[in-house]
Amino acid sequence: MNIPFEMQDAIEKLLEERSISKIRDCVSSVCERYNNDSGRGKVLVKNEEEAVSYAISRMPGTFGAVKTAVRAFKEETEEALEDGSLEIKSLADIGAGTGAAVWAAASEFDFDRITCFERESSMIATGKHMLAFGEDVMKNAAWIQGDAVKGKDGGSKADLVTASYIMNELRPEDREGFLKMLWETADKAVILLEHGTKVGFQNVLYARDFFTKNGASVVAPCTFSDGCPLPADDWCHFTCRMQRSKVQKFVKGGDAPYEDEKFSYIAVLKTPLGEGRNESDRKARIIRHPITNKGCVEFKLCSKRGIENAKVTSRDKEQFKAARKAEWGDKW
């Protein structure tokens, strides 16, 4: 996947009048701080140069991950969106940082109002620069500076609330207040993403429990709202391959033309998903890369029935053709 052309343009403009080598040094110091100080409620990006380095190094991967999650949400709620029983016209992005999730959500939905809620002035300044390259609704986004674990709501309510890669920064004792804030800010839906690691998934699982206890129906990636069937030592995550620009290769080091962003997520609706729709009728989600051998494709699937391994052989021509095209993260 590629980031939008305008977003790449905005990233490149960030580098004008800045030393790219200095930005590269900032990327490694910010990375180190993230590795050592996440989960303690600390400020991890400390000035505008670091915010710029964050934008250059992290925004493409985040864009891809959030877009993938928003697409899965959209695909699952398509019927309701088509018949007008679900309208997604406004967005609040909490812990918006430099605005990557806004770019991603706005590439899937036509919003008429966007709010970005963020604590750090340096992230807000860089985020405003980035969104100035987007559609009018992005240019006109309202930026609210505040603390998501202290605020009552995200400034103004919105149909959809997104929160990407913020929960891992919070102290464990602040997580519930933060989720309450997301829930109260959302009129209709919440999509939350974390890193595709064991720790990231534990945060997603915690959020899933919080939302379902409050009456949410899970839209994606789970196709059911009962408890998660994965064993305790496993974690549900997905991956998204992003093309790397010359600049990204330089600041992150290495020549690989792409990077794989691994993420865990949960998308929920505050209301049931489709009147009278039975969760048992929903398809399963493919939760690992399918294994393709001659004449056979094997899937690891998750559904209301639990975790299952499935095999599709070339004896079933139609199914086999579809199975060969199916990817990790698709439904089956």
Ligand X SMILES: C[S@@+](CC[C@H](N)C(=O)[O-])C[C@H]1O[C@@H](n2cnc3c(N)ncnc32)[C@H](O)[C@@H]1O
- List residues binding ligand X (CB under 6 A): 58, 62, 95-98, 100-101, 118-120, 123, 147-149, 164-166, 169
Question: Which segments of 83-188 does DSSP mark as H helices, in order?
Answer: 100-106, 121-131, 136-139, 175-185
Task: Choose among 24, 10, 42: nearest CA to 166.
Answer: 42
Q: Nearer Cβ to ligand X, position 162 or 303? A: 162
Question: What DSSP letter does each residue of 35-72 carry, written as one string?
Answer: HHHTTTT-----SHHHHHHHHHHHHHHHHHHHHHHHHH
| Residue of closest CB approach to ligand X | 97
Question: What DSSP letter does each residue of 212-277 carry, written as one string?
Answer: HHTT-EEEES-SS-S---S-TT----EEEEEE--HHHHHHH-S--SEEEEEEEEEEEESS-SSTT-
Shortest approach of ligand X to residue 5 CB, angstroms? 19
Shortest approach of ligand X to residue 98 CB, angstroms? 6
Shortest approach of ligand X to residue 247 CB, angstroms? 17
N- to C-terminal Cα distance for the chain? 22
Tokens standing for residue 96: 């918006």
What phi and psi, each to the nearest 5 degrees, are found at residue 223? -105, 30
Shortest approach of ligand X to residue 162 CB, angstroms? 8
Q: Nearer Cβ to ligand X, position 200 or 290? A: 200
Tokens standing for residue 74: 């959209």
Q: Nearer Cβ to ligand X, position 118 or 159? A: 118
Secondary structure class of 197 (helix, strand, coil): coil
Q: Nearer Cβ to ligand X, position 129 or 282? A: 129
Q: Nearer Cβ to ligand X, position 166 or 269? A: 166
Shortest approach of ligand X to residue 163 CB, angstroms? 7
Q: Nearer Cβ to ligand X, position 165 or 201? A: 165
Q: Nearer Cβ to ligand X, position 145 or 309? A: 145
Structural contact between residues 103 and 4, judged by C-beta atoms closer than 8 angstroms: yes
Shortest approach of ligand X to residue 155 CB, angstroms? 11
Shortest approach of ligand X to residue 261 CB, angstroms? 11
Task: Choose among 329, 309, 269: nearest CA to 64.
Answer: 329
Cα–Cα dist 128/234, whole Å: 38
